[in-house]
Amino acid sequence: MEVFGRYRLLDRVAVGGMAEVFLARTSSIDGFDKDLVIKRIRPELTRDETFVSMFIDEARVSIALAHPNVVQVFDFGSVPTDDGNSYYLAMEFVRGCDLGALLGLDEFDARGLPPEVALYCVGQMCRGLDYAHNLRGRHGEPLQVIHRDISPRNVLLSFDGGVKIADFGIAKAKNRISQTQPGMVLGKLVYMAPEHATGLAIDARADVFSTGAVLWELLTGHQLYGGQLTPEAMNRIRVADVERPSVYAKRIGRKLDALVMKALAREAADRFQSAREMGVAISELLAKEYRSFSDYDLQSFLDERRQLLPSHSFEAFADEPAPPQPAEPEVVLLDQVKQPFVKSGTSMAYPDPAHAQASHAFSWSPEFVEAVEQFRERPSIWALVHMADLCRHEGQTDAALAIYRIAALTFAQHGLLTQAMLCCRGALESRRDEATRAMVTLVPRCAFASADTMRSVLFASSGPVESLMTELLELAPVRIGRAESPTKLLTELSANGFATLVERCELRHVGEGELIVRQGDIGRELFLIANGRALVHATRANGERVYIASLTSGDFFGENGFFTGSPRTASIEALYPTQVFVITQELYAKAAADNARADATLLAFYKERVVDAVLATSQVFGLLPHGSRRAMIERFRLRTFIAGSMVLREGETSDDIYVIKNGEAEVFTAHNGTRTNLSTLGPGTLFGEVAALRGIPRTASIVAKSDLTALVLSKRDFLAVVDERPAVRKQVMDVIASRVRENLDKLMAR
C-alpha cells in the first residue's frame, strides 16, 4: 500500500499512455475511509507546462459536474515526489463494469446487446452529455464542455443499474500529448466525428456522433469501421462512410436504423442537434417499439452475468493502452477490500437535555438532528465543524464550544493545524474568555499526540453534547490521514504564540470565482487556506492564461511577496467558496516572539518555497529531480553584505552561487577606467552559477546597491548532490558549457 498525499493507493489496476489508475481509499480530512479511484498522470507529462495548465483548466470544470449519469470527480491536485509534482484526479468508484466489458462477453460477440438494453444505456448517456453540454458558470456563461472521447470503455455500468460517463475534463490535455510525443496517437478514431478526426473545430454535436458510434457497436457487436485502422478505414472515418446497423443485425427495425444513421450523419447540421434531442428520440422509440426498460431491468441484466464480468473495471480511466509491462501482482478483488466501519441501522440515541447539568442545557434543533444523521451516512470531521457552526448560530454556545474543541483537537492530532485553527476561530467567535483561549493553547500540544493523550484532553466536561459526540465517534472511529510534512511555521509556535495567531489574523471569506491575490499587486501578506480550494494562474504578455497549480486546505501561498515585497507573480482564484487566513509579517513576528528558532524556521520556509521555485525555473537547476533540488536547497547558507560592498569581482574566480533574498545588487564592468552598468538584480534572482561550476573568471562585477542578504551555495556542495546522479550531472554540465559559449558570444559582440 502506497501513501499518496491524502490517499492510500491499495492497488494499481490499470495503466495507459497518459496515466496510472489505482483503487484507493481516502485518508483525508474530508471524511473517513471511502473507496475511490485515483488517476495519476505520468511523471514525464507533468513537466510539460502547457499540459499541466490544460489539465488544471479542464479538471476545474470536471469537478463541478454533478449528475447521476456522470462519474463524479471529487478532487484534483498534485503531490510532491522526488521527480516533481505528481498530478492526479480522485474520482467516484463505480462498482460494476464498463460497456466494453459487457459487450465483450461471448454471448454478445458479433451479435450485440438486446436493442432495449443498448437503447436504455445510450439514452442514459444522452442525459449525462446533455447536462454537461449545457453546464453554465457562476455568471451564467456557457462552459461549452465537450467530452471528446466517448467510447464503450468510457461508459461505466454499476451493478445497481446506473449508467455513468467517465473521464470528463481532460480531453484537451490529452490532445496535448500527441503534440509533444511523436508517434503517439491519442483518442479513439473509430468513435470520432469526421470534423474531429480531421482536426476541424468541434462542438457538442461531435459527442452526439460518438454516442451514435457507441450505439451502432452495441447493436451489432462490431466496431463502426472494423477492428483495424487501415488506410481504407481512415478514409471512411474522414467522410463518415457508415453502413446501416441492420446490415449486421437483422433484428434491427427501420426506425432504429434511421435513428442511428441520423446520429452518424457526416455533416453536423444533419445530426441530432443536441444530446437531449437524441435522448428524447431514444425514449420515444423504446416506448413504442420495445418493452419498457429501467434501471431495475439493467440491474437484473447485469446480475445474471455478474460471474462472467470483471470484478472491477478501470480501463475507462486509463485512456490509451500503454506498451506491455512486466507482470504486476495479482489485483485485489473488491470484495476482499475491507469497507469503512459504520454500524448501519444503528439507532442514534439523543441524550435527554433534562438530565444534563444546567450549564450544558441544550435543545436539539431539526437542523442539528439532520446534521447528525448526515454524519452517520458520511462521517467527517468537517461534519462536526458544521454541527458546531449550527450551534453557534442558534445561540447554543456551550454546545458549539464542546464540538469545536473535539474537532480542533482531532485535526491537531493528525498534524492538520490549519484546519484546527479554523475550529479554534469558531470557538473564539462563540465566546472570548480565558477558558476558550486555554482550549486554543491545547491545539499545538496535541499535534501527533497518542490516543491515550487524546482521551485525557478531548472532552473538557460531561453533558448531552459530549455524550452524543462520544457515540458518534464510536460509530465511526476517526481514521483521517496524518499530514505528511506539516509546516514548521505552525508546529514550532508555542502554545501562546499559536493562540495569538488564531486570535489576531484576518479570516477572509472568498466567494466562488473571486480573486484572493491579483497578479502584479504588491503586498507583504502570507495566505493560508483554511477550507476550500483555489487555483493559481498567470497571464502571459500575449494575454494567455496559464494554470500553474491548485491549492487546498493547509496550503500557503504569497510567500514571495511576504519575504521580499515583490509584485505577485500569479493570481489566486477561489474555485468555490473558500476561507483564507491572512498573516502579516508583524503578526507572525509577534506570534513567534517567544520562539528561539523563529528566524531559522522562517529561513527554512523561505528556502522550501521561494528558493525551490527559483531553482526549478533555472536552466541549470531545473534539470535536477525534485528530491535532489531539495537536498541542494538545504546546503544554501545565509550571507549578508552592507551597501556598497563587493559581492563578486570581475576577473576573479570563486566557487559560490547566489540567490538574493533581500536588497538589490548592481552588475557592472570596468575597462580603462570606465564603468558600465549592465543590470540591477533584485530579490529572487539567481546568479553566478555558470562561472562557479565551470571554474572560469567572473565576467562582471556585482556590488551591493543596498544592504543585501543572499543565500550562497558552494560548488563543492552542488557536486556532492549531483555526483549521486551521473546522468543528471552530465546534463547540467552540458547546459553550463552551452551557457559559457553564449556569454563569450555576447562579450565578443560588445
CA dist 444 and 486 (Å) reads 12
Q: Is the dihedral of CA 598, 603, 608, 610 positive or negative?
A: positive
Residue 360: predicted pLDDT: 44
The answer to whether residues 481 and 6 touch, using CB atoms and an 8 Å cutoff, is yes
Q: What would the DSSP string read from start to end of 630-674? A: HHHHTT-EEEEE-TT-EEE-TT----EEEEEEES-EEEEEEETTE
pLDDT tens track for 354-367: 433 333 455 678 89
Cα atoms in the Cβ-side hemisphere of radius 13 Å centred on 560: 21
Q: Tell me: pLDDT of 192 over 80.
A: yes
Q: Tell me: pLDDT of 198 over 80.
A: yes
Longest dimension (CA), the chain: 98
CA dist 103 and 222 (Å) reads 10
Q: Tell me: pLDDT of 453 over 50.
A: yes
What is the edge-to-edge ordering of all strands in the sheet holding 545-552? 515-517, 571-574, 533-539, 545-552
CA dist 51 and 173 (Å) reads 5
The answer to whether residues 24 and 4 touch, using CB atoms and an 8 Å cutoff, is yes
Q: Residue 321 carries which DSSP code?
A: B
Q: Tell me: pLDDT of 342 over 50.
A: no
Residue 641: predicted pLDDT: 95
CA dist 452 and 697 (Å) reads 63
> What's this model's pTM, rounded to 2 decimal places?
0.78
The answer to whether residues 443 and 418 touch, using CB atoms and an 8 Å cutoff, is no
CA dist 3 and 10 (Å) reads 9
CA dist 164 and 121 (Å) reads 9
Residues 6+ apart with CB under 8 A from 8: 1, 2, 24, 25, 26, 27, 481
Q: Which of 181-190, 249-258, 622-631 has the lowest mean pLDDT?
A: 181-190
CA distances to 84, 423, 430, 478, 693 from 389, in Å: 39, 9, 9, 20, 58
Which grid coordinates are listed for 590? 509577534
pLDDT tens track for 267-307: 999 999 999 999 999 999 998 888 778 999 999 999 999 98
pLDDT tens track for 33-64: 678 899 888 877 877 777 888 888 878 888 88
The answer to whether residues 593 and 494 touch, using CB atoms and an 8 Å cutoff, is no
- Indicate the pLDDT class of residue 526, thresholds 50, 70 and 90: very high
Question: What are 557's strand-pairing partners?
Answer: 527
Question: What are 666's strand-pairing partners?
Answer: 680, 703
Q: Which of 156-165, 302-311, 523-532 has the lowest mean pLDDT?
A: 302-311
Across the range 14-41, mean pLDDT stands at 75
Q: What would the DSSP string read from start to end of 218-238? A: HHHSS-TT-SS--HHHHHHHH
Which candidate, 108, 124, 55, 48, places its Cα nearest to that of 84?
48
Residue appearing with cell numbers 476561507:
579
Q: Residue 337 carries which DSSP code?
A: S
Q: Which of 69-73, 88-92, 664-668, 723-727 has the lowest mean pLDDT?
A: 723-727
Please report the domains of the chain, with CATH numbers, ordered by start residue: 96-322 (1.10.510.10), 365-484 (no CATH), 505-595 (2.60.120.10), 615-749 (2.60.120.10)
Query: What is the residue-averaged pLDDT of the chain?
Result: 83
Q: What would the DSSP string read from start to end of 77-125? A: EEEEETTEEEEEEEEE--SEEEHHHHHTSGGGTTT---HHHHHHHHHHH
- Indicate the pLDDT class of residue 330, thresholds 50, 70 and 90: very low
- Indicate the pLDDT class of residue 711, thresholds 50, 70 and 90: very high
Q: Tell me: pLDDT of 648 over 90.
A: yes
Q: Tell me: pLDDT of 118 over 70.
A: yes
AA letter at 454 = M
Which candidate, 687, 527, 692, places its Cα nearest to that of 614?
687
Higher pLDDT, 252 or 325: 252
